[in-house]
A and B are shown apart, each in its own frame.
Chain A
Amino acid sequence: MADDLLLRVSGLVAGYAAPVAGPLSFALNRGEILGLAGPNGAGKSTLLKALWGGVRVFEGAVDKAPGLQISHQAQGFDDLRGVPLTGRELLALTGATPDGLPSWLAERLDRRLDRLSGGQLQFLRLWACLTAPADLILLDEPTNNLDRAGVAFLIDWLGHAHAGQGIVIVSHDHGLIDEVCTRVVEIGA
């Protein structure tokens, strides 16, 4: 694979007990932000999971650059109420850095997660994936449960150059896709 090439996806068909999504083909280089767009039920999240091995691949191939490090942000999250973990401890788990966090979250980093609002918690989980050491970042509906300030900060962060990394975003939010993605692949229902 070429030095800048992170991922080559060829005719990917993925699913669980049976195929539910695909075929999908694309290549991703460092510095690119690829959007996977499409209507609900098109299988965008399933195809994203296939990139890191979270679902069964029925056809096609996912070729990764040797030693590729993937950071994956899943849609939704478990109920975290009652677990005494702070935001700072959460970031440390993935090796993410608190540097660059928006001030409205940075000042709450030493609070327990169950003392944060839903939007703050979602942004923190997103940040733990965004700034974890990785070559490829996979984001599944990253704006879900974010408040307006969180969405604005995310768009601004993604808009800055990340030359060393590739990013794949699945979203039904066309505003986000149009604003931050360098390329878009449409997936049909």
Chain B
Amino acid sequence: MSFDLLFDPLFRVPFFTGLLLAGLLPLIGMYLRLRNEWLAALAFAQMASAGALLAMVLDWPMVAGGVLAALLAAVLKGLAARAGANAYALMMLLAWAGGVLLVANHPLAEQAGHALFDGQLYFTGEGHLAAAATTCVVVLPLLAWLSRPLLLGRFFPAFYQARGRSERPRLMLFDLLAGLAVALATVSLGVMAAFALVFVPPLIAYRFGSSWRAGLGWSALIGMAGYAFAFAVSLGFDQPFGPICVLLMVMLFVVSSVKYDRM
């Protein structure tokens, strides 16, 4: 057990790459939960994983493959909006089957498959950090702009239609942003760590947030704090980041539930 590595400059880029994503993913998760579409995040992550593996086999950049696959999933989700959770489940099954077949039939894919599943955060470079920073710069203002339409869609579903306008373009834009953020997180943090950061912080923030704005603040804070702790623990105890992050997130939810139930 050594925590000296925490202060090694080698790990600064991976740490800040993950920290940016850990602040962004819970915000995406708040709106996915609002629309009862949180399962879509797992479908995006699985598709991104399969896309990254395919890209590697074709000798393309894995990040590009993951992002393209997740954006394709976002488009499919928009087109199959009526299918709801069924569409996400079908996407997950498709991505899983494709990913396993690639791993089974290509020698390099097996190693990459493990990296995507466990999370390869420590091997992320400046390219990943630049991509994460750019994604935050692009997604955060757009998410702020989309907040009202997304909330209206839940609380007053006929608002735009009654005014002769369609909400569909805004919803499609949100899907694309969610796909982009989850894909980037998948190739950096791993499938389940990315999903945990989308799913768990909003789950807690919905309980404790005194308003929507406070809920957004809580979720981002929980995501970043949980991530930073998981980073330190996994590095200090020489454990893979993905499962440590997932375990800590689940523990955070359990602890907060106990506190909440006693309030």
Point out residues on A near B: beta carbons under 8 Å.
52-54, 69-72, 74, 78, 80, 82-86, 89-90, 93-94, 110, 112, 125, 128-129, 138
A82→B33 CA distance, assembly (Å): 10
Interface residue B155 (Cβ < 8 Å from any Cβ of A): yes
Which residues of chain A are within 8 angstroms of B134 by Cβ–Cβ distance? none
Which residues of chain B are within 8 angstroms of A89 by Cβ–Cβ distance? 151, 211-213
CB pair A74–B158 under 8 Å, yes or no, is: yes
A-B pairs with lowest CB-CB distance, top 7: A84-B209, A84-B215, A52-B162, A72-B162, A70-B162, A86-B211, A85-B212
CB pair A82–B206 under 8 Å, yes or no, is: yes
The listed residue (B154, B162, B163, B212) touching A84 by CB distance below 8 A is B212
CB pair A52–B206 under 8 Å, yes or no, is: no
Which residues of chain B are within 8 angstroms of A52 by Cβ–Cβ distance? 158, 161-162
Which residues of chain B are within 8 angstroms of A82 by Cβ–Cβ distance? 206-207
Which residues of chain B are within 8 angstroms of A70 by Cβ–Cβ distance? 162-163
Which residues of chain B are within 8 angstroms of A110 by Cβ–Cβ distance? 211
Among B162, B163, B205, B211, the most chain A Cβ lie within 10 Å of the Cβ of: B162
Interface residue B123 (Cβ < 8 Å from any Cβ of A): no
A53→B165 CA distance, assembly (Å): 11
Chain B interface helix/strand/loop/mixed: helix
Which residues of chain B are within 8 angstroms of A84 by Cβ–Cβ distance? 205-206, 208-212, 214-215
A84→B151 CA distance, assembly (Å): 11
Point out residues on B near A: beta carbons under 8 Å.
34, 148, 151-152, 154-159, 161-164, 205-215
CB pair B158–A72 under 8 Å, yes or no, is: yes
Which residues of chain A are within 8 angstroms of B208 by Cβ–Cβ distance? 84
Known: A69-B163, A84-B206. A112 touches B211 (CB 8 A): yes
Which residues of chain A are within 8 angstroms of B154 by Cβ–Cβ distance? 78, 83
Which residues of chain A are within 8 angstroms of B162 by Cβ–Cβ distance? 52-54, 70-72, 138
B158 vs chain A, min Cβ distance (A): 5
Which residues of chain B are within 8 angstroms of A83 by Cβ–Cβ distance? 34, 154, 206, 212
Nearest A residue to B149, CB-CB = A93
A152→B156 CA distance, assembly (Å): 24
A89→B215 CA distance, assembly (Å): 12
Nearest B residue to A84, CB-CB = B209
A79→B152 CA distance, assembly (Å): 15
A selection of 17 A-B contacts at a CB cut-off of 8 Å is A53-B162, A71-B162, A72-B159, A72-B162, A74-B157, A84-B208, A84-B210, A84-B215, A85-B151, A86-B210, A89-B211, A90-B155, A93-B155, A93-B156, A93-B159, A110-B211, A129-B156
Which residues of chain A are within 8 angstroms of B207 by Cβ–Cβ distance? 82
Which residues of chain A are within 8 angstroms of B34 by Cβ–Cβ distance? 83
A86→B210 CA distance, assembly (Å): 8
- Given A74-B158, A82-B206, A94-B159, 19 additional A-B pairs, CB 8 A: A53-B161, A53-B162, A54-B158, A70-B162, A71-B162, A78-B155, A82-B207, A83-B34, A84-B209, A84-B212, A84-B214, A85-B155, A86-B210, A89-B212, A89-B213, A93-B151, A93-B155, A112-B210, A125-B155
